[in-house]
Structure 1
Amino acid sequence: MGKSSKKPSQLEILIELNDELENYFNNTIIPQLFVDADMMLRKYTPAAMKHFKLSASDLGKHISEVSHNIRFPTIIENITEVVETGKDLEKEIQTTDKVWYQMNILPYIIRKENRTNGVIITFVDINDRIQILNGYERLNRNYENIIHSISHDIKGPLSNMEGLISILKETPADVKDNRLIIDMLSESVVNLRKTVEDLADIDYDKEFAKAPERVNFENIIEDAKLALRDKIAESNARIFTKVRESEINFSRKNIRSIVYNLLSNAIKYKKPDCEPVVTISTEKSGEDILLKVSDNGLGIAEDQQHRIFSRYARVHDNVEGTGVGLFIVKGMVEAMGGRIEVKSKEGEGTTFLVYFK
């Protein structure tokens, strides 16, 4: 007779599960902490030990005693919130060594008892992404500075030219006097031309604007959401994504600027007393990749839609803006052989369709 197989006991099953958990914690490269409902640190991964300078003596300590290496003063409150609500929590934090992480606090639920017995805290390194965002924000500030500089710096030469032309019209036709005024007017034209050329010749972060490369839409969308997190939080905007085509060969700087501008506009042009709802999707459209950004905002009147991609075009004067965002987006898309279209109904929202070759 064959040897009968023995069914493992409950204790053996628990030991095996514990061994698997230990093996996972010891081999994962992701910094993770396990904190129980009493705020005691029960376990951490080697990566967490390295990044947060933990030691074996920290096990069993209250999280407040070991969180000094994490520059996040509300970590106790956030752990308590997750334990009490059973809902995930996500935030960006910075450690004492100036490294940025996306911190996810997930409830550790005992299914049999249907209760939360602590949390697992995961840290994802987003330092490179933050640095890229800082670069984009610097570029946006530089673009704004150029616009403000043009607006401000050409006023002086233009005023001089207008004044000289008025004098020329009012003075008697004396050849000598007119010659002097014309010379002064010519000098003002030269100064104006030089001012415009100087402003147009600004070359910020040339190395930052990279050539086309394989770009992941999910990452770009998350970057834009991260850069706009204050506006998203302030407006209580809800952002939904449906990415069916994940990658595109495009300038990372430009694709990020396109998504950033379209998402920013979707939030900015919201209806009064109505929380923005924005859907960002990608899909295949023939031989093109189609990016769609739809919102439930103010919408654009049909007779105004033809001019929204023009430089300095404004269709909602009650909303702050320079009117150059969509002009820049159109230029970026068309420079790479693509096209951008708009579908909108006043009072019901807008959808921008960007076709990439």
Structure 2
Amino acid sequence: MIYEDNNRAQKDIDIKVFNQIPSEKSVILRSILENSLNSAIFILDENGYILEINRGVSKIFGYSIDDLKGKYFSILFTPNDKSDNLPEKELSNVLEAGASTDRNFIVHRSGKHIWAQGESVLLHKDGIKFIIKVINDLSREYELEQYKNKSIKDLKIFVYTASHDLKAPILNIEGLIDSLESALINNEDYSEILDLIKSSIGKFKTILNDLSETGKEQEKGEQDVYEGVSFQEIVDELLFAYNKQIESIDATITCDFVKAPIIHFSKKNLRSIIQNLLSNAIKFRSSQRKLQIKMSSDKTDEYIIFSIEDNGIGIKESDKKALFSMYNRLNENIEGSGVGLAIVSRIVDNNGGKVVIDSFEGKGSKFNIYIKDNPS
């Protein structure tokens, strides 16, 4: 009990000294404490006891001054962090270095854990040390990171499943084509058709292998191989693969890659981006008019821009926010897995790019894919 009285007396001395800090610095500090709402600010003594807080503490973490004044600042830490002596480590760092930065969960008054970043600075006055600790709420950033990690995990599962499940039927088709070729070996009327079928199967197998390798490399954390890739070359491969479908719907496709014919990027990732966007343009065509697709490229100081525009059914304004969500199918009447645009978004985001959409329901859509060129 004598210890507690002495401790309380020391806190009273610290608070009194803090309240009597003179000069313009005091005015600035008190103005910050009274008016700052977007950051939580704590004034601690050198032992980690809370002397003062600003209004931002109540707004962000729910505590009043009565909840915290005179309390050891470990009250803000999770049980796990307390058991790991994290409060003591943070206190030691700022006392030794004069300043420190940290990231950890802060316990809200309701018990909720909020991911936050703190910056601490050591001050001196009349032989007494004070610590100013500023904490910012990073919960939104944390949620986005968790969502991103979940999306990547979902994509890995899809990549492995798709590449594995599709290989068996392709091998079966290849075997049947070989048998058919043997039966028609002397029939020249079918030789060209068989050659086209075998070529299509070969390209399909290449795409599946690339898909499988992409998953393996991501699992191992390997970097993509960047090389000079021709937009026209990738598009020609895909147009060949979709040739029958394009002919059957009498679609018109035009390309203009003069402004930026080459990009230094992962070839399989670029193919995946264009394939998914082209496939969507074909699938989401309008029944009221003949499909027209325009593909082009351009460049700025920072990006190479691949654009694909169609006159299809367009996208509802209410659907745009969920457009890149995993397994999200905006039209249940049109076949698809709901992962195509999620794959595009993941590839572009991971390479520091962005996707800009200009779409109106009933009129069509334009996707502008901003990709950073990587020549070195």
Q: Give the shorter-chain TM-score range.
A: 0.3 to 0.5
| TM-score between both structures, scaled by the size of structure 2 | 0.43
State which structure, 1 or 2, has the greater radius of gyration over its C-alpha atoms.
2
